[in-house]
Amino acid sequence: MDHPLGTPPHWLAAGRLDSAPMPDAPASNRLLVLQHIGCERPAAYEDELLARGLTLDRVQLDAGDALPDWRLYVGIVAMGGPMGTYEANRHPWLTAEMELVAEAVHADKPFWGVCLGAQLLAASLGATVAPGHGPEVGVLGVELTAEAAQDPVFSQAPASFPAFHWHGDTYTLPPGAVHLARSELYEQQVFAYRNAYALQFHLEVTPQMVAEWGQVGAYASSLATLPGEDPLADLIAQVSAVEGSAIPLARELFARWLLDVVGIA
* Of 3-12, 64-73, 89-98, 241-250, the least confident: 3-12
CATH of the domain at 240: 3.40.50.880
> Does residue 129 fall inside a structural domain?
yes
Q: Which residue has the higher pLDDT, 244 or 225?
A: 244
Q: Which residues pair with 34 in a beta bridge?
A: 59, 78
Is 212 exposed, middle or buried, given 0-12, 13-18 or 19+ CB atoms closer than 10 A?
Answer: middle
> Does residue 35 fall inside a structural domain?
yes
> Does residue 222 fall inside a structural domain?
yes
Q: Which pLDDT band holds residue 25 (cuts at 50, 70, 90)?
A: low
Q: Which residue has the higher pLDDT, 161 or 6?
A: 161
Predicted pLDDT of residue 24: 56
pLDDT tens-place string over residues 208-217: 999 999 988 8
pLDDT tens-place string over residues 78-112: 999 999 999 999 999 999 999 999 999 999 999 99
> Does residue 3 fall inside a structural domain?
no
pLDDT tens-place string over residues 63-83: 999 999 999 999 999 999 999
> Does residue 56 fall inside a structural domain?
yes
pLDDT mean over 38-49:
97
Sheet containing 196-199: order of strands: 55-60, 30-35, 75-78, 111-114, 196-199, 190-193, 178-182, 129-144, 160-171
Helix (H/G/I), strand (E/B), else coil: 248: helix
Domain encompassing residue 177:
10-19+27-209+217-262
> Does residue 2 fall inside a structural domain?
no
In degrees rounded to 5, what are phi and psi of residue 133? -80, -5
pLDDT tens-place string over residues 122-162: 999 999 999 999 999 999 999 999 999 999 999 999 999 99
* Of 13-17, 21-25, 30-34, the least confident: 13-17
Percent of the chain with pLDDT over 90: 83
pLDDT mean over 167-189:
97
Question: pTM higher than 0.75 for the full model?
Answer: yes
Predicted pLDDT of residue 142: 98
> Does residue 241 fall inside a structural domain?
yes
> Does residue 4 fall inside a structural domain?
no
SS3 content of the chain, % helix, strand, coil (to 5): 35, 25, 40
DSSP E strands in the chain: the ranges are 30-35, 55-60, 75-78, 111-114, 129-144, 160-171, 178-182, 190-193, 196-199
Predicted pLDDT of residue 226: 85
| Tally of domains in the chain | 1
Per-residue pLDDT at 34 exceeds 70: yes
206 and 197 Cβ atoms separated by less than 8 Å: no
Average pLDDT for the chain: 91
Predicted pLDDT of residue 28: 80
